[in-house]
Amino acid sequence: MPLATYGGVVTRRDWAGWPASGDRDVPLFKCPMDQESDENLMLRVAARDQAAFGALYDRFSGSLHALVRRILEDDQEAVEVLQEGFLYLWEHAPSYDPTRSKAFTWSVVIFRHKAIDRLRALRRRTRVADKAAELLPPLDDTAERSDHAADRQERADLVRQALLALPEDQRKCIEWAFLKGYTHHQLSELFGAPLGTVKTHIRRGLVRLRDLLKGGLS
Amino acid sequence: MTDRQEEQAAMYSLHVLDEHEKRILRSEMKVDARLREAVAEFEETAAEIAQLLPEDAPPPELRARLLAEIRRSKRSNIVTGVIFGLIRSPWVAWAAAAGLAFGAFRLWEEKQQIAAQIPALQASEVRAKAETQLAEQAKTELQQKLAAATSDTTALTAEVSRLKQANAVSSMEIATLRSGMKRYEEGVAVVVWDSNAQQGQLKMDKMPPVQPNKDYQLWVIDKGKTKPVDAGVVKVNDRGRATITFKPAQPITDASRFAVSVEKEGGVPEGEGSIIMISP
């Protein structure tokens, strides 16, 4: 069964027969590295391929750095989380399952959790003032992308359209939770909405977003 | 999957649940494959939002730092791998197997030796038990004998005490001295004599005072002696009373009588004055 990749050539039979641990650094896939899918690279990272790790870093670091910097709003903290996240990724790549998630979104989950954990720790230390009046910077829908990320452009367009298709309350709850690491209690306070309403917004919004991304916007 | 679970799964995927809610959901995920799948789908969906962010290249030195770090960790893993490889190598396995076999043989040998010693040890145990039983019997007998001897001793002691008391009483003599003279007829003198102790006690009452330069003197008349034996001077008080303990100047074998005389002051070795009182 072919894997859902961005043009990669890995098949289930291929990665099932992959060596358990890295006893060699040579790539097992014959395609040039810049043509390999993200998932293929991640599987090679799991096999302790440093070159694949370097290539994956080149592909993901720009987006992931943007993400953690957006969450933390602190350059130094963002770099520290980025370094910590990539080392975690190197150590835990063997647990990556390409049948369950894309390599990029799997990485986003890891880095976002690390950034939010760091952010919450910083909030506890510095007692950041109430952010209710703060406006969340809009997501950039006209971002220029590198060559490596160009193949995700189409996907990004789809995501942007799906988000814009959500009711504003749902979209705001999801964006603030995703980019600011606010808990449902904090979101309730921030938007002055009952906790149950916030939960419903998150649930309905994510269900709708999932369905839109799965089945298209039609 | 319930609506509540789907709601929790959505919030979990956005990392907005508190720790308590996370623990509950994780425990439910362990037994609910559909819930796990829902969480994975929501996480995947939420992560897609990151696609919208413009790329922001990190500092260039971070890449080199990361690669150096993973090279270092890889070398460490290689050393660990070599060690585990050595452990897994056939030679180590053969050596371990040989060691185990040798150890097993030694254990078998020791077991055989111990098995051979068991009958002798059992016989020794039987003998020891018999000896212990005999010793216990002897001990019991000795304890019984000791108890009997203690009882005899107690009885004998009691008997001796009783005999001593009887003997003591038998050796005691009481004698009352009287006077036939007008001057001393109101006077009373009593002697208690213990022939075993060779001493006695004299008690006098209502005796008239003696003349100046004179004293009363007590005498013991012994059948085995030709003359009375001096038993000491007796001085009475103003009321004519005196109590003295006396010890005769010579050993007394058979005190037949006791007498009081008036003698020169300080007494005399042999009687010179008149006997004023005498026992019957």
CB contact under 8 A, A63 and B51: yes
Cβ-Cβ contacts under 8 Å, B47 against chain A = 101, 104-106, 108-109, 112
- pLDDT(B109) > 60: yes
Q: What is the mean pLDDT of residues B162-172?
A: 72
β-partners of residue B176 are B190
Average pLDDT, whole number, for chain B?
85
CATH 1.10.1740.10 domain locations along chain A: 1-128
- With beta carbons less than 8 A apart as the criterion, state whether A50 and B67 touch: yes
Query: Nearest residue of A to residue B13 by CA position?
Result: A109
Position A51 scores a pLDDT of 92
- With beta carbons less than 8 A apart as the criterion, state whether A72 and A42 touch: no
CB proximity under 8 Å: B 196-225 to A: none
Contact residues for B220 (Cβ-Cβ < 8 A; gap 6+) = B193, B200, B228, B229, B231, B248, B252, B255, B258
CB pairs under 8 A between A and B: 164
Residue A84 tokens, joined: 């910590």
Question: What is the rounded CA–CA span in Å between residue B216 and residue B233?
Answer: 6
CB contact under 8 A, B15 and A210: no
Position A126 scores a pLDDT of 46
- pLDDT(B83) > 70: no
Query: How far from B192 is each of B10, B167, B220, B245, CA to CA, in Å?
Result: 125, 15, 12, 9
Position B163 scores a pLDDT of 72
Contact residues for B99 (Cβ-Cβ < 8 A; gap 6+) = none
Question: What is the rounded CA–CA span in Å between residue B171 and residue B196?
Answer: 6
Residue B77 forms contact with A (CB below 8 Å): yes
Question: What is the rounded CA–CA span in Å between residue B150 and residue B155?
Answer: 9
pLDDT digits (tens, 9 = 90+) for B143-161: 888 888 888 888 878 877 7
Nearest CB partner across the interface for B45, out of A78, A187, A209: A209
Nearest to A143 by CA among A131, A132, A156, A130: A156
CB proximity under 8 Å: A 55-114 to B: 57-58, 61-67, 69-70, 78-79, 82-83, 86-87, 90-91, 100-102, 104-106, 108-109, 112-113
Nearest CB partner across the interface for A143, out of B41, B47, B54: B54
- Asked whether the ipTM of the predicted complex exceeds the cut of 0.85, the reply is no
- pLDDT(B118) > 50: yes
- CA-atom Rg of chain A in angstroms: 19
First to last CA, chain A: 28
**Least Cα separation, residue A64 to chain B (angstroms):** 8
- pLDDT, tens digit only, all 218 positions of chain A: 333 333 333 333 333 333 333 333 334 444 556 678 889 999 999 998 999 999 999 999 999 999 999 999 899 999 999 999 999 999 999 999 888 888 998 999 999 999 999 988 887 544 434 454 444 555 554 555 555 555 667 778 888 888 889 999 999 999 888 888 888 888 898 888 999 999 999 999 999 999 988 876 55
**Least Cα separation, residue A65 to chain B (angstroms):** 6
Position A130 scores a pLDDT of 46
Cβ-Cβ contacts under 8 Å, A179 against chain B = 49
Position B257, amino acid: R
Q: For B43-102, give the secondary structure using H, E and C.
A: HHHHHHHHHHCCCCCCCCHHHHHHHHHHHHHHHHHHHHHHHHHHHHCHHHHHHHHHHHHH
Cβ-Cβ contacts under 8 Å, A108 against chain B = 47, 50
- pLDDT(B280) > 60: yes
Position A128 scores a pLDDT of 38
Question: What is the rounded CA–CA span in Å between residue A144 and residue A153?
Answer: 9
Question: Which residue's entry shows tokens 């939960």?
Answer: A199
Cβ-Cβ contacts under 8 Å, B13 against chain A = 206
Residue B65 forms contact with A (CB below 8 Å): yes
**Least Cα separation, residue B117 to chain A (angstroms):** 55
Nearest CB partner across the interface for B58, out of A21, A54, A82: A82
Query: Nearest residue of A to residue B52 by CA position?
Result: A156
Query: Nearest residue of A to residue B49 by CA position?
Result: A159
B173-278 — its CATH code?
A: 2.60.40
Position B165 scores a pLDDT of 73
pLDDT digits (tens, 9 = 90+) for B236-276: 999 899 999 999 999 999 888 999 999 999 999 988 888 89
Residue B70 forms contact with A (CB below 8 Å): yes
Angle CA B262–B176–B210, to nearest 5:
20
Query: How far from B234 is each of B46, B120, B237, CA to CA, in Å?
Result: 136, 91, 10
Question: What is the rounded CA–CA span in Å between residue A111 and residue B28?
Answer: 25
Give B75's pLDDT tier (boundaries 50, 70, 90). Answer: low
Task: Name the percent of chain B lying above pLDDT 70.
Answer: 90
Helix (H, G, I), strand (E, B) or coil at B15: coil
Task: Answer yes or no: CATH 1.10.1740.10 is held by domain A1-128.
Answer: yes
Residue B275 forms contact with A (CB below 8 Å): no
CATH 1.10.10.10 domain locations along chain A: 133-218
Residue A51 forms contact with B (CB below 8 Å): no
pLDDT digits (tens, 9 = 90+) for B88-100: 566 666 676 777 7
pLDDT digits (tens, 9 = 90+) for B177-233: 988 888 888 888 999 998 888 999 999 999 999 988 999 999 999 988 888 999 999
CATH for A133-218, options being 3.50.50.60, 3.40.718.10, 1.10.10.10, 1.10.1060.10: 1.10.10.10
Q: Per DSSP, which regions of chain B are E strands?
A: 172-177, 188-194, 199-205, 214-222, 229-234, 242-246, 255-264, 275-278
Nearest CB partner across the interface for B14, out of A50, A139, A178: A178
